[in-house]
Structure 1
Amino acid sequence: MTNEIQKQYNRLDDVPSIMLCMKEVYAVPDRNIRYATTKAFFGTKMAEGSSVQSHGVKMFSLVEKLEDLKAGFENDTYIDVILQSLPLSYDPFIVNYSMNGLEKSIHELINMLIQYEETTHKSEPTVLVGGLRPPRRKTRGPDAGRGRMARERLS
Structure 2
Amino acid sequence: MDTNKFNGTSYNHWLRNFRIVLDFENQGYVLDNPLPTALPEGSSPEERVTFEKWLEDNRKVHSIVLASMTNEIQNQYNRLDDVPSIMLRMKEVYAVLDRHIRYAATKAFFGTKMPEGSSVQIYGVKMLSLVEKLEDLNAGLDNDTYIDVILQSLPSSYDQFIINYNMNGLEKMIHELITMLVQYEAATHKSAPGVLVGDASTSTVKAKRVGRWKRKKGKGKVVATTSSTEGSPTAPKGKGRGKVGGSQRSKANDVCMHCQEKGHWKRECP
TM-score relative to the length of structure 2: 0.42
The superposition leaves residues 102-136 of structure 1 with CA deviations (integer Å, 9 ceiling, x where unpaired) of 0101011000000100001115678xxxxxxxxxx
Superposition pairs of residues 54-65 of structure 1, within 5 angstroms: 54-65=122-133
Deviation string for 1:36-95 (max 9, x for gaps)? 111110011000000000000000000011011111100000000000010001000000
Q: Which amino acid aligns with 1:34?
A: R
Bigger Rg, which one: 2
Partner of 1:116, secondary structure, is: helix
Counterpart-to-counterpart distance in 2, 1:99 and 1:30:
38
Return the match for 1:49 from 101, 111, 117.
117
Match status 1:99 vs 2:173: no
Matching residue of 2:92:
24
List runs of 5+ in structure 1 lacking aligned partners.
127-155
Q: How many angstroms does 1:25 deviate by?
A: 2.5
Higher relative contact order (CA 8 A, sep 6+): 1
Q: Which whole-Å CA distance do the structure 1 matches of 2:192 and 2:147 have between them?
A: 27
Identical pairs, percent? 77
Count of aligned positions: 123
Match status 1:82 vs 2:150: yes
Q: Given the two structures, how large is their TM-score scaled by the length of structure 1? A: 0.72
- Partner residue, 1:67: 135
Name the CA distance, whole Å, in 1 between partners of 2:192 and 2:170.
26
CA RMSD of aligned residues (A): 2.3
In structure 2, what residue type is equivalent to 1:51? S
**Structure 2 unaligned blocks of 5 or more:** 1-71, 195-270
